[in-house]
Amino acid sequence: MEKMAQAGRLIERLSASFGVAAALVLASCSGSAPETAPRNRQQNNEVALVRTPLFSADSAYAFVERQVAFGNRVPNSIGHQQCGDYLIGQLEAFGASVAVQEARVTAYDGTKLDIRNIFGAFNPREKRRILLYAHWDTRPYADKDTVRTKEPIDGANDGASGVGVLLELARILGDSLPSVGVDIAFFDAEDYGEPEWLPNRDADYTDWCLGSQYWARKPHIPGYRAKYGILLDMVGAKGAVFHREGTSMALAPAVVEKVWSTARRLGHADLFRNRVTPQTIDDNLFVSQLAGIPSANIVHYHLDTRIMGYFPFHHTHGDNMDAIDAEVLGKVGQVLTQVVYAE
């Protein structure tokens, strides 16, 4: 009952802060199973699959591996600086119009973080645009581990996987532009929130997603607009499943349906499932609510197996290349590529 009371207070605080009608739910306190999303009643009217360039799972895997090779990408670290330079260079090499938003933000403990939000625009003159994004920083603590809890993690899945898929998509876009404009964004300082060991953690969780919060209030292009957005967060682990994430269902149900119905038509319904997770705090909340760009979150979240159902090595040292499955990266990339070229 106390957890339910805390969740109720949290919803009230987030609603007041962000205007979110239903906010973060840390756990399923009632013990009831999350609802299942209704089946699309317009399946007969779905747009047919289109021919797309080939998305290379091996290439996406190599992009993940290259990021991890820099070491941790915690803001203010050498690895963070080097990896950011690498991401900028890759986007430029693929022909994107690149913009870098530099900022200094304050972490939960008062630490000043020098961050970079990195953007690559393809088909920049096209007014119809979609925003595809992931975070590229890594967790400064292994606070869900039992050893070396105050050391940073590799972040192969939590951070590098989404970026790896988007880098492979950027390579494809550089060779074959779709009819729509595509903006790829790598947001910084997503994972610098309060650690698990703090006795009195801030209940509104706005110490997470600092880069996307900064951008949502101060876009790199004044007045920037996109038709919709898709967030990739933890999209490369072995045994991954992607249920319909609760915040996405509250704020961008049509975008969720677009992505999940595409996955079904591609034969990936085993990966993209129809049950709805609890609502989470992630970059898509701030992009949807503050920037006004309805966004779906493709995130690895297990139901029925743990209170916070993120993938098994979430915020531990087990989040390394051994956890990454190229086949999962490839399926996510196929879905994303189909969504883009079907516009």
Chain segment 217-262, per-residue pLDDT in tens? 999 999 999 999 999 999 999 999 999 999 999 999 999 999 999 9
Q: 147-205 pLDDT, tens per residue?
A: 999 999 999 999 999 999 999 999 999 999 999 999 999 999 999 999 999 988 777 78
Q: How far apart are CA 142 and CA 309, in angstroms?
A: 17
Q: How far apart are CA 166 and CA 102, in angstroms?
A: 21
Q: How far apart are CA 238 and CA 234, in angstroms?
A: 11
Helix (H) or strand (E) holding 231: strand 228-233
The predicted structure's pLDDT at residue 279: 93
Q: What are phi and psi of 204, to 5 degrees?
A: -95, -10
Say if residues 162 and 87 touch (Cβ distance below 8 Å): no
Q: How far apart are CA 37 and CA 276, in angstroms?
A: 6
- The token duo for 339 is 């969504």
CATH dotted code for 54-341? 3.40.630.10
pTM attached to this predicted model: 0.90
Say if residues 107 and 192 touch (Cβ distance below 8 Å): yes
Q: How far apart are CA 24 and CA 334, in angstroms?
A: 30
Quick check: helix, strand or coil at residue 103?
A: strand
